[in-house]
Amino acid sequence: MSRRAVVSHQEWTLQPDRESDAEPTSYAMQCVVCGATSPTETDYMAPQDWVFAHGGRNPSHHTYRETITRPWRAWWKP
């Protein structure tokens, strides 16, 4: 007896998760020069403030990258 697979093509939808129980969007900044990273926060201003403090302590550190973690959800339409 051979096995057979049934493949069903569905139309999927993907969007940011804005449901009330979704995890919050979070932000962090990383110094590209030394690799130091700010705490991860749900308010984007806190990591930006970290950049100014870090740059004040390290005057030659001018390059940073931002990490944004945003929840998404996917579902298919029957």
Give per-residue pLDDT as tens, 32-69. 999 999 999 999 999 999 999 999 999 999 999 999 99
- The reported pLDDT for the residue numbered 9 is 79
Judge whether 36 lies within some domain: yes
Q: Looking at the 3D structure of the chain, how many domains does it have?
A: 1
Q: 20: helix, coil or strand?
A: coil
Q: Please classify residue 29 by burial: count the beta carbons closer than 10 Å to its beta carbon, then call 0-12 exposed, 13-18 middle and 19+ buried.
A: buried
Judge whether 10 lies within some domain: no
Judge whether 35 lies within some domain: yes
Domain range for 39 is: 23-72
Q: Is the pLDDT of residue 7 over 90?
A: no
Judge whether 78 lies within some domain: no
pTM, to two decimals: 0.78
